[in-house]
Amino acid sequence: MTALPSLLLVGGGKMGSAMLAGWREQGLSAAVVVDPSPEAGKLAGPGVEVVPAFGEIPDGFTPAAVVLAVKPQMAAGALPDYARYAARAVFISIMAGKALKAIGGMLGTRAAIVRAMPNTPAAVRQGFTVAVAGAHVSVPQRELADALLKAAGEVAWVEDEELLDPVTAISGGGPAYVFLLTELMEQAAIAQGIPHDLARAMARKTVIGSGALLAASEEDAANLRIAVTSPKGTTEQALAVLRADGAWPEIFANAIEAATKRSRELSE
């Protein structure tokens, strides 16, 4: 396995720490994590140094990639310092709602920037990330960004940055929708008299197992749904309620539209 080059991670929160764990598994050679929180110290280890601020980065440290994992509202105050690395490093931003143009305005218009939208299953290396490369990203830099993002799961690249708004709504927020479904299934089971512990286990295992079946099958999700739905059976009755007058399809479409709209607002 080829060791990953030196990396600078700005922000050691849930997503940043998940990616760092994946890089370690891929043979990380050296990294510096910039994060002021006391909890960030837990990320330190062989080859990984944690510092509280930009000014504490060791002299002479020259990262091949700078991963921007800070909260979007902190970007304006934090990012300009890192412009000094623009001559050599590729910047990989996983900040929601920050467009390439806005990031370039903080790092310099010639900075090589990749904008990416991962999701939280990255914590168990089952994430899905969609990425777009800025105009100044070289082929080797894109390959490095691809390798770093793949340490957390599957990666897809697009050419149109505007697609990252619906990507944020569907893939970025998608785990929350699945967790809500699990939550509602558990609540409905309890309402039908099923004990809490059993209701919880049923809901969780049903979602986990269905995901595993989906992953193992080449069938469309619609076909898998049909296979579970016996004519005039119990599942057909439930689906009739969920789809009555377009209820669930319409609500879900409206929800994705609302999230996409909000993503566009945050990018402005």
pLDDT at 267 over 80: no
On whether both 119 and 184 belong to a single domain, the answer is no
- Where a domain ends, among 161, 187, 216? 161
Yes or no: say if 134 and 116 are a contact pair by the CB < 8 Å rule.
no
Query: What is the band of 96 on the pLDDT scale with cuts at 50, 70, 90?
Result: confident
Q: What is the pLDDT of residue 2?
A: 64
- Where a domain ends, among 126, 161, 196? 161
On whether both 130 and 180 belong to a single domain, the answer is no
On whether both 70 and 194 belong to a single domain, the answer is no
CB atoms within 10 A of CB 194: 16
Counting every residue, how long is the chain?
A: 268
- Where a domain ends, among 161, 190, 222? 161
> Does 243 reside within a domain?
yes
Q: What is the pLDDT of residue 5?
A: 93
What is the mean predicted confidence (pLDDT) over 70-80?
Answer: 90
> Does 12 reside within a domain?
yes
> Does 169 reside within a domain?
no
On whether both 50 and 120 belong to a single domain, the answer is yes
On whether both 144 and 186 belong to a single domain, the answer is no
Q: What percent of the chain has pLDDT over 70?
A: 99
| Cut 0.85: pTM above it | yes
What are 3-48's pLDDT values in tens digits?
789 999 999 999 999 999 999 998 898 999 999 999 999 999 999 9
Biggest CA-to-CA distance, the chain: 71
State the average pLDDT for the chain.
94
Query: Domain range spanning residue 109?
Result: 7-161
Q: What percent of the chain has pLDDT over 90?
A: 90
What are 123-176's pLDDT values in tens digits?
999 999 999 999 999 999 999 999 999 999 999 999 999 999 999 999 999 999
On whether both 185 and 221 belong to a single domain, the answer is yes
> Does 139 reside within a domain?
yes
- Cα-based torsion angle of the residue sequence 14, 19, 95, 137 in order, rounded to the nearest 10 degrees: 170
Query: What is the band of 69 on the pLDDT scale with cuts at 50, 70, 90?
Result: very high
The tally of domains found in the chain comes to 2
Alpha carbons 121 and 98: distance in angstroms, whole number: 21
Q: What is the pLDDT of residue 73?
A: 86
What is the mean predicted confidence (pLDDT) over 230-240?
Answer: 95
Task: Report residue 30 as tokens.
Answer: 């050296």
Tell me the CB-side half-sphere exposure of residue 39, using CA atoms within 13 A: 6
On whether both 182 and 107 belong to a single domain, the answer is no
Residue in this structure with the two tokens 């080797």, named with its chain if needed = 140
> Does 108 reside within a domain?
yes
pLDDT at 75 over 80: yes
On whether both 153 and 178 belong to a single domain, the answer is no
Q: What is the pLDDT of residue 184?
A: 97
pLDDT at 190 over 60: yes
What is the mean predicted confidence (pLDDT) over 232-259?
Answer: 93
Q: What is the pLDDT of residue 193?
A: 98
Q: What is the CATH number of the domain that holds 220?
A: 1.10.3730.10
Cβ-based neighbours of 253, under 8 Å, separated by 6 or more: none
On whether both 96 and 205 belong to a single domain, the answer is no
